[in-house]
A = this chain, B = another copy of it.
Amino acid sequence: MKTQKQIDIKSYKADGFIEKYQELIRTTVIPYQYNVLCDRADGAEKSHVMQNFINAGKAVRGEDVGDGFYGMVFQDSDAAKWIEAAAYSLNVKPDSQLEKTVDEFIEIIKNAQDTDGYLNTYFTIKDKDKRWTNLLEGHELYCSGHMMEAAVAYYEATGKDVLLNVMLKNAEHIYEHFITNKNEGYPGHPEVELALLKMYRATKNKHCLELAEHFINVRGVDIHFYEKEQKKRDWSVWGNNPVNYEYQQSNAPVRELSDARGHAVRAVYLYTAMADLASRTDDKELYNACVRLWDSITKRQMYITGGIGSTVHGEAFSVDFDLPSDTAYAETCASIGLMFFASRMLENEVRGEYGDVMERAFYNTVLAGMQLDGKRFFYVNPLEIIPGISGVSPTHRHDLTTRPGWYACACCPPNVARTITSIGKYAYGENEETAFCHLFAQGEIAFENGVKFVCETEYPYGFTIKYSIISGGKMAVRMPSWSKVFTLTANGNALEYDVKDGYAYFEVSDGDLIEIKLDDSAKFISASRKIPALSGKVAVTRGPLVYCFEGVDNGGDVISIDLNTNSKIDILDTCDKLNGAVRLKIEAFKVCEADSLYSEITSEIEKFIAIAVPYYTWGNRGENQMRVWMEKE
C-alpha cells in the first residue's frame, strides 16, 4: 500500500522557474533532439535512430537491409526517451504538429516489432538468432523498458494507446520467454523493472507486475548466471567481464544488499523499481534493503551537489567517502535516477530526507547537465575544473571544461528533457486524504483527491512560498533540512500545523492563502571529516542551490582564493548572462604566488571579494576554472 503516490502528469501546470525550463525543453531541446534522431542536426554525431527503426521494419518483413544498424546496442532507447519527453511536453502545451510527429514515429516503431512481439532494432537487423543470448550486454530489456515508459507517458498525455499496445505485446513476449518458457536470467542494465511497474499502473496488466517482481526476485540469486551465459555464446558487444558482480548488480539477491556499488545508473534504476515494488506489495524486507541502499548513497557516497557514482571506472560507485571533486564522474543520468529512487522511497514513507535529496540532485547536478540555452550537455559533473589539468591529465580526461554537443552515447540529454518535463510527478504527491508538496514547484496543481491550489514563489531564488487554495483539504509540505527556521501563516495569521519526519501537516480551506517563509540566508557548509578529499574545505549554499566559484567572476583564478568564513555572505546581483541567477559575494583573501613549488608559509595575502554563482550555471561563459569546495582562512 503506497503511503502516497506521484500525481498524474496532467495534474500540474508549471509557472515561473520550472515553466521556463519546460519551455526551453519544449521549444529547443525536443526539436533539436528529434533532428538528431533523424540525422539532420548540424554538428551532432550520427545517430541513425530513426533509420534503425525503419530498417528493422523492413527486416521484419523479410527485406535484406544488410548493414542497416548503426550506433550503440542501446540506440533504440534514445527514441524512447525522446518520445517520453515529447509526451510530457504535450501536457505542458498542446502542439498538434509535435503530436503528429510522434504518431508517425510510433507507426515506424510499431512496424519494427516482430510478429511475436519482439522489439529491438539491433538484434532484428543484425542477427535475429542472437536474441536473448546476451542479457549481460545486449540491452534488449533496457530498450524495452524505456519504450514502455514512453508508451505510458504518451498514453497518459494523449489517451492514444498505439505504442502502449505495442509494448503490452512486447511485455507478453518477454513474459513468455522468461516466465512461461522458464528461460533463466535477469536484465544486464536494470530499467525494465521500473518500466513494467509503470505499465502495470497504467494498464493493470498482471503479467507486467509479475515480470517486474520476477526480475527483481531472481537478480543476484544465481550470481554466476552471466558467466554461464557467456560460455554459451561466441560473441560479445564490448567484452564485459561477467565476474564484475558489483558492476552489474548481480553480487547478491537484492534483499541482502547493504552497499550501493557498481554502475551508478544501473544501481539507482534497480533501487527505484525495488522501492516501487516494496510500496506496492507491502514488502518490508525489500523496503528495508532500499533504506540501507539509500543510506549507503546519501550518507556515505553522495556529493553535495547530489552527484553519485564518483569514479569513471565503470561509471560507478567507489567506496564509502571516496568523493574527489576534480576526478568526479557523477553522471547526470545517475542523479536523475537518484530522483526516481527518492520519489519511490517517498511512496513508502513520507520522510523529508527523501525530498531533500531529490531537490539537491535536481537543482544542482541534473540542471547542470544542460547548458542554459538547452543546446549542449554534460554527461560528467565534476566539482572542480582546472583548465590544463581537467580533460587533459590521464586521471581527469572525462572531466570536460565545457559542455559538448550530442554524444554517441546520448543517454543524458533526453533523460534531462524527460525529467524536467515531468517534474510535477516528483514535486507533488497525494493519497486519498492529503496533498503532498515534496518540491516547491511553481504553478497550478489539481490533485485527484480534490485539493487544488496555485503555488507562487521565486524559488530557488526566493524563499517565500505562497499557496492560494482553490479547493481545500489536507496538505503536507516538506520543510527542507537546510532551513532550520521557517514560518507558516494562513491569511496572515499563524497556521496550526504538525511537523512529522520533515513535513508540516495542516488543513486548508477554499480561498486560504498559505505563506511559508524559509531561511533565505546563504551558508558556509563543511563536509564530514570522513571524506579525505574535503577536509578543511568549505562550500557555499543558499536554499537548495550549491554555489561554485568560476574564474570569469574572480580574476581568472579560484585556486588562490581562501574564503573568510567569519564574514557574512551577501547577494551581489542577478546575472543576466546566467538567466537571472543570483550571484553571491563573500569576503576572501587571495594568496600571492610563491616563486617555487614549495616554500615556507608566509602571510602574503590580499583582501579580495570572491563571487559565487549557482553550480548548475557553471561552464556557460567559456572555459575557466571552477571550484565548489574552497579553502578558508
Residues of A that sit less than 8 Å from B by CB: 298-300, 302, 304, 311-314, 316, 318-322, 324, 326-327, 384, 386, 388-389, 392-396, 523-533, 535-539, 557, 559-560, 562, 565, 591, 593-594, 596-602, 631-632
Contact = CB atoms under 8 A, between A and B. Distances in A.
A319 B389 contact: yes
Contacts of A523: 600
Nearest to A326: B532
7 contacts: A319-B388, A319-B393, A526-B602, A528-B593, A529-B591, A531-B597, A565-B601
A363 to B, nearest CB: 15
**Identical copies in the complex:** 2
A562 B591 contact: no
Contacts of A536: 536-537, 562, 631-632
Contacts of A394: 311, 313-314, 316, 318
Nearest to A529: B560
A529 B559 CA distance: 6
Given A311-B395, A395-B311, A559 B532 contact: yes
Contacts of A557: 529
Given A299-B596, A326-B533, 14 more contacts: A304-B597, A319-B388, A322-B393, A384-B532, A524-B601, A526-B594, A526-B598, A526-B602, A528-B594, A529-B559, A530-B593, A535-B591, A536-B631, A565-B601
Contacts of A316: 394
A312 B393 CA distance: 11
A320 to B, nearest CB: 7
Residue in A302, A314, A322, A600 whose Cβ sees the most chain B Cβ within 10 Å: A322
A600 B524 contact: yes
A453 B503 CA distance: 82
Contacts of A599: 525-526, 528
A321 B594 contact: no
Contacts of A531: 597
Contacts of A535: 559-560, 591, 631
A61 B192 CA distance: 67
Given A394-B316, A529-B560, A529-B591, A389 B322 contact: yes
Nearest to A327: B395
Nearest to A594: B528
Nearest to A562: B536
Query: What 4 A-B pairs have minimum CB-CB distances, sorted nearest first?
Result: A536-B631, A313-B394, A529-B560, A526-B601
A350 to B, nearest CB: 20
Residue in A298, A535, A565, A593 whose Cβ sees the most chain B Cβ within 10 Å: A535
Nearest to A536: B631
A209 to B, nearest CB: 36
Nearest to A633: B536
A632 B560 CA distance: 15
A293 to B, nearest CB: 16
A602 B484 CA distance: 15
Contact of A598 (B304, B311, B389, B392): B304
Contacts of A594: 526, 528-529
A612 to B, nearest CB: 15
A283 B536 CA distance: 50
A213 to B, nearest CB: 33
Contact of A386 (B312, B392, B532): B532
A256 B101 CA distance: 59
A597 B392 contact: no
Contacts of A600: 523-526
A339 B536 CA distance: 35
Nearest to A565: B601
Contacts of A314: 394
Given A300-B597, A597-B300, A319 B532 contact: no
B395 A299 contact: no
A384 B299 CA distance: 23
Nearest to A300: B597
Residue in A533, A560, A591 whose Cβ sees the most chain B Cβ within 10 Å: A533
Contacts of A593: 528-530
Contacts of A396: 322
Contacts of A533: 326
B598 A539 contact: yes
Nearest to A388: B319
A563 to B, nearest CB: 10
Nearest to A625: B532
Residue in A312, A314, A529 whose Cβ sees the most chain B Cβ within 10 Å: A529
A593 B559 CA distance: 26
A123 B268 CA distance: 52
Given A313-B394, A529-B591, A321 B598 contact: no
A327 B318 CA distance: 14
A474 B539 CA distance: 59
A314 to B, nearest CB: 7
Nearest to A353: B596
Contacts of A384: 532
Residue in A394, A560, A594 whose Cβ sees the most chain B Cβ within 10 Å: A394
Contacts of A602: 526
Contacts of A298: 597
A244 to B, nearest CB: 11
Nearest to A546: B598
A379 B576 CA distance: 53
A597 B394 CA distance: 29
B538 A601 contact: yes
A525 B601 contact: yes
Contact of A596 (B393, B528, B591, B601): B528
A313 B598 CA distance: 25
A482 B67 CA distance: 68
